[in-house]
Amino acid sequence: MVKRRVVVTGIGAITPIGLNVNEFWEGLISGRNGVFPITHFDASKFDTQFAAEVKNFNPELYFDKKTVRRLDPYAQFAIASSVQAINDSEVNLDKLDKDKAGVIFGSGIGGLLTLQTEHWKYFQNHDPSVISPFFVPMMISDLAAGQISIRFGFKGPNYATTSACATSSHAISDAFMLIERGSSDFMICGGSEAPITEMSVGGFNAMRAISTWNDRYWKASRPFDKDRNGFVMGEGAGALILEELNHALDRGAKIYAELVGIGLTADAYHITAPSPGGEGAARSMKIAIEEARLLPQDIDHINSHGTSTPHNDINETKAIKTIFGDHAYKMVINSTKSMTGHLLGAAGAIEAIATVLTIKNDIIPPTINLDNPDPECDLNYNPHKATNKEVKTAISNTFGFGGHNASLLFKKFEE
């Protein structure tokens, strides 16, 4: 089978540092911090009282009031980012073969706020009649993908991925493979998350996974810094349009970058901790590079998983050194989570968008808050300020609880 080439022709983003791609990118390169005290609920009794919330999102820009009430925030973010991506792609939907257009859109948790709200309603009343008839379709993780396909009439492949923090990188990978093999020509893919609720924050506090720096919350997301003590939860969504190259060229589409390799592996080690030395992460990068028919020294930049947790940052650094050797010290690496927080199932999508824009603009966003580098994290993580540098090839890494690893390799488009 001859593999078809796959390009990125549209992007959309709802994030803690911007409600569209332009705002998101401007926030990234300027080092905007999206972390503030939690406003979604009273967090005063929680060990963590801050997060990276989406601010000033108006769902009525995308839906009527009736529809808003029937969509969990995670689905609102997903559909809104997809609308942006479709508009950005400038595709003529009337001329698009919708049997060959699909949607793969993931969420690590899905409609957690809806689940929590309906749970409370029942146990406060002990009356099943109070449960909303929209409870299930608002909650389940696949409904964002279904809603997006209904909105645009796309009748090709349609499903959700769920693999914790690797969720949306897996969605992008699946869309890539479907286009490669000829099952689809045009795909909306990405991920969405709205996890800033009592149960989620409480659960991650119980795991001791998120930072508790309430007195200096704006400094709490600090990947690769020796003082880090956990990730900062974020919310939002990212959507990408992946398109078969000739399909894109025939309609005169603008092309942001080409997706040339994916690496998908499992640690098979522990439910939350990465395998020692980042062995699974190293293999995912190696596979992506080999699929792209490149060499490690061809890679210019890595948008790291970079969670600001003690184990991830050290093990990802070790994985990079394993694959790249001396070249690891020549690359510019960053963690955009230092600004956006960790969007869990949406992280891979917004970080893939950041990687694509880095290639398009030849600007590498900074890692903010990297004040005291961990001695075991001794690579160039681009602290504090953006770097102007030609970037021809770049990898976006995402690794999730359960030992899921995904690496996406993007390249400047050349015919």
User: Which residues have CB under 8 Å from 204's CB, separation 6+?
Assistant: 48, 210, 233
Return the SS3 of 257: strand
Catalytic residue among 247, 342, 377, 404: 342
Q: Measured between alpha carbons, how far is 283 from 260 in angstroms, rounded to an integer?
A: 17
- Residue 170 falls in the annotated catalytic set: no
Best CA proximity match to 262, nearest among 285, 295, 282: 285
Task: Answer yes or no: are the C-beta atoms of 211 and 308 closer than 8 Å.
Answer: yes
- Residue 305 falls in the annotated catalytic set: yes
Neighbours of 120 (CB within 10 A): 12
Best CA proximity match to 15, nearest among 300, 314, 365, 331: 365
Best CA proximity match to 323, nearest among 292, 295, 347, 344: 295
Q: For the CA atoms of 36, 199, 41, 139, what is the dihedral angle to 10 degrees?
A: 100
**Quick one: which H or E segment has residue 245?**
helix 245-250
Q: How are beta strands 257-266 and 6-14 bridged, if at all? A: antiparallel
- Residue labelled with tokens 């029942």: 122
Task: Answer yes or no: are the C-beta atoms of 385 and 366 closer than 8 Å.
Answer: yes
Largest CA distance in the chain: 64
Give CA angle at 355 (349, 356), nearest 5°: 90
Catalytic residue among 165, 189, 301, 404: 165
DSSP letters spanning 276-343: GGGHHHHHHHHHHHHHTT--GGG--EEE----S-HHHHHHHHHHHHHHHGGGGGTSEEE-THHHH-B-
Task: Answer yes or no: are the C-beta atoms of 263 and 284 closer than 8 Å.
Answer: yes
Q: Measured between alpha carbons, how far is 96 from 20 in angstroms, rounded to an integer?
A: 25
Task: Answer yes or no: are the C-beta atoms of 163 and 173 closer than 8 Å.
Answer: no
Q: Measured between alpha carbons, how far is 31 from 190 in angstroms, rounded to an integer?
A: 24
> Within 13 Å and on the Cβ side, how many CA atoms surround 319?
30
- Residue 165 falls in the annotated catalytic set: yes
Q: Measured between alpha carbons, how far is 243 from 173 in angstroms, rounded to an integer?
A: 13
Catalytic residue among 247, 305, 377, 404: 305
Which residues participate in catalysis according to the annotation?
165, 305, 342
